[in-house]
Amino acid sequence: MRTCPHGVEDGGEAAVLDDLDPLVGALRERGFAVVGPVARDGVIRFAELGSAADLPRGLADEQAPGFYRLHERGELVFGFAASPDAVKRYTHPPRSVLFRMRGGVPEKVPPRAGKVALLGVRACDLAALAVQDRVFLGGRHPDEAYRERREALFLIAVTCAAPGGTCFCASMGTGPRPTSGFDVALTELTGPHRFLAEAGSERGAELLAALPSRPAGDADRAAAREVGAAAARMGRRVDLDGVRERLIERRESPLWDEIASRCLTCAACTMVCPTCFCVTVEDGVDLADGTAERAERWDSCFTLGFSELGGAPLRSSGAARYRQWLSHKFSTWVDQFGTYGCVGCGRCVTWCPAGIDITEELERLR
């Protein structure tokens, strides 16, 4: 099969799969742990799949600022938008050991990455992965642990069939249809239920060629185009025109204090954000077995200690910390990495306990 990430649009090759079980089985045979969405505790999370039967068929989500609910609706397997788990959990985990000593002797740290196939990755998360590639691999000191984990990934993307209430990937130019950065892309179709599959890499093509499938016909392609077009009509949007300069000009705006009066500085937005990458380093000693280890774990520009310098935080107010976060995402990130630090996934809006909506705050900063 020719690998063509734009198959539906340009008439490239695509196959129709009636069932995802052979795909899951073939990946497991190739030594991958297959990780995909499952419904757990009222939320869609990523977890290892035993088979395609573990996928959350017939569930849809409702997302709004500070609000998330799952409902039984329809027959789709991927009928929901971004969940709190982003791909960064697998490339840049919440905690990772940097080195370990026992009795003063360095010990081998367990392997950092096994082969993981991620099933159901959204276009916004592929864009976030590209952002993180620049952050971790693009500078003079590439992060080799990130590289190992990144290279161990096999990515099966899915076109979002229904935008979440907080999504704005269409404004950021990152979705809803995956166009690059995947091994296989699926578009879920109904009437009858099936998946249009396109390869985005040689190994993706090799995998698809090994699965029971039939060539996609005109009706399958038309249905896939419809899914992508419908999902692009999302409720939230951001006007990027002049946003970078505006955030610099408005750095003394009273609006920062007003936002801070609602912000709890809880850091939830940075934990769920697929591009946030800040860490702190901690040392620990286990007196029972005599080991000492140094680990890095996720940190956030919303914590007071994050900007501590010379015994005092540089950003002591909530206003300063929110301004830092928003300005970094839409302004200084561009200076640093040549791209925005936001991909429009909407997670920070959904999971903010105060319901603070960055699309609204950016609009108010006009």
Catalog residues that contact ligand SF4 under the rule CB under 6 A. 263-269, 272-275, 302, 329, 342-348, 352-354, 356, 358
Q: Is 151 exposed, middle or buried (0-12, 13-18, 19+ CB in 10 A)?
A: exposed
Contact 160, 176 (CB under 8 A): yes
Rounded to an integer, what distance in angstroms lies between the CA atom of residue 341 and that of residue 276? 8
Of 120 and 341, which has the nearer Cβ to ligand SF4? Answer: 341
CB of residue 234 vs ligand SF4: minimum separation in angstroms? Answer: 12
In the numeric block, which tokens belong to residue 293? 């280890």
CB of residue 308 vs ligand SF4: minimum separation in angstroms? Answer: 18
CB of residue 101 vs ligand SF4: minimum separation in angstroms? Answer: 36
Of 19 and 361, which has the nearer Cβ to ligand SF4? Answer: 361
Of 76 and 267, which has the nearer Cβ to ligand SF4? Answer: 267
CB of residue 278 vs ligand SF4: minimum separation in angstroms? Answer: 13
Of 82 and 207, which has the nearer Cβ to ligand SF4? Answer: 82
DSSP string, 291-336: EEEEEEEE--TTSGGGGEETTEES--SHHHHHHHHHHIIIIIHHHH
CB of residue 42 vs ligand SF4: minimum separation in angstroms? Answer: 19
Of 100 and 328, which has the nearer Cβ to ligand SF4? Answer: 328
CB of residue 340 vs ligand SF4: minimum separation in angstroms? Answer: 8
What type of residue is 103?
G
Contact 111, 254 (CB under 8 A): no
Query: 144-151 and 123-137 helices cross at what angle (nearest 10)?
Result: 150
Cis amide leading into 93 (omega within 30)? no
Of 3 and 174, which has the nearer Cβ to ligand SF4? Answer: 174
CB of residue 114 vs ligand SF4: minimum separation in angstroms? Answer: 27
Of 81 and 356, which has the nearer Cβ to ligand SF4? Answer: 356
Beta bridge partners of 35: 48, 118
DSSP string, 346-361: -HHHHT-TT---HHHH
Rounded to an integer, what distance in angstroms lies between the CA atom of residue 297 and that of residue 256? 28
Query: Which of 51, 10, 18 minimizes the C-alpha distance to 197?
Result: 18
CA 70 to mean position of chain CA atoms: 19
CB of residue 244 vs ligand SF4: minimum separation in angstroms? Answer: 15
CB of residue 273 vs ligand SF4: minimum separation in angstroms? Answer: 3
> In this structure, what are the phi and psi dihedrals at residue 92, rounded to the nearest 5 degrees?
-145, 75
Of 195 and 322, which has the nearer Cβ to ligand SF4? Answer: 322
Of 32 and 302, which has the nearer Cβ to ligand SF4? Answer: 302
> In this structure, what are the phi and psi dihedrals at residue 179, rounded to the nearest 5 degrees?
-120, -15
CA 291 to mean position of chain CA atoms: 34
Rounded to an integer, what distance in angstroms lies between the CA atom of residue 43 and that of residue 74? 17
Instruction: Say how many residues make up the chain.
Output: 366
